[in-house]
Amino acid sequence: MSVAAFEACATAVFILTGFAVGLRLLLLARRTREIPELALGGGLFLIVGIGYPIYLVAATAPGLSLEGARRLAILSTVCLNPGMLAVFVFTWRVFRPEARWAALLAACVGVALALLTVVRVQELASLQDRTTLLQPTDVLLIIYTLAGMSYLWSSVEAFLCHGRLRRQLALGLIEPVVANRVLLWATGSMFALLSDAPVLVAGLLRVPFEDLVTVRLMSSLAGLGCGAALYLAFFPPRFYLRRLAGREATA
């Protein structure tokens, strides 16, 4: 299998999983009217389910006109940036609901992303060559940095929370599947960061990402890992649930 084919498969798995999980959580939010499921579902749906695939189409679909690419790239931007903010809101509301610094961070990121969206839309409106969509500009690098921060923060908080939940698990205060879901979210967020980081670093070093085959492979693997973690966390297959239950029984 070529690198391009592997990348395509990994990307497809990532997008399908993100779309399904995001949609499922949004439907859950409609029922529960709670912020965390709305934020996480909205974030995953807007970033992975809609924004990312639209951007890929804008940048790579054959036969697409420049005007069509511009419109799609703008649509993708107005999906991706609010999606990123939603991940920040999720982390704040779930792990640090009473911390002022967390609320302030989410508010600052919200303002920054709003401004970056305006600037990026203006940048895209004057796009002259659609192949440059894959080359990160300064604005895009700042957006990537904020995206990386959102995954890093969520991952660290979830790992810390899992450490606490392991103690609850030992006393039988929590179901293994719930503790495991927190761990999978922590892992999935870390994979999302690892998938995002090479693009960011290549952009900062002004190295064309397309030329870095090994890095592209690592980024795709991380994307695949993120998709797998999301799948196991939110659509756990029976064998996986049995394994978790078995582990509890032998503990």
Partner 1 sequence: MSEAYDEFCRQIEVCASLTDLQAMGTARILVKEAGLDAKTATAAQLAVVASKLLPRQLEFLGVKRGDGVAAKIGAALSAAAPAAGAKSAPEAVFRRLGGNA
Residues that bind partner 1 (CB under 8 A): 24-25, 28, 31-32, 34, 36-37, 40, 93-95, 97-98, 161, 163-169, 171-175, 177-179, 181-182, 185, 233-234, 236
Q: Minimal distance in Å, beta carbon 181 to partner 1?
A: 5
Q: Which is nearer to partner 1, 163 or 208 (CB)?
A: 163
Instruction: Provide, rounded to whole angstroms, the least separation between the CB of residue 50 and partner 1.
Output: 20
Q: Which is nearer to partner 1, 224 or 230 (CB)?
A: 230
- Token reading at 171: 């006393």
Output the DSSP codes for 47-95: IIIIIHHHHHHHHH-TT--HHHHHHHHHHHHHHHHHHHHHHHHHHHHHH
- The CB-of-229 to partner 1 minimum distance in angstroms stands at 13
Cα 187 to Cα 142: distance, rounded to the nearest angstrom: 24
Do 230 and 188 meet the contact criterion of CB atoms below 8 Å apart? yes
- At closest approach, how far in Å is the CB of 226 from partner 1? 16
Residue number, 32 or 122, with CB nearest to partner 1: 32
Beta carbon nearer to partner 1, 28 or 112: 28
Structure-token pair, residue 132: 């440059």
The distance of closest approach from Cβ of residue 34 to partner 1 in the complex, given in angstroms and rounded to an integer, is 7
**Nearest residue (CB) to partner 1, 1 versus 101:** 101
H runs (alpha helix) in the chain: 3-32, 35-44, 52-60, 66-95, 100-125, 138-170, 176-204, 213-234, 238-250
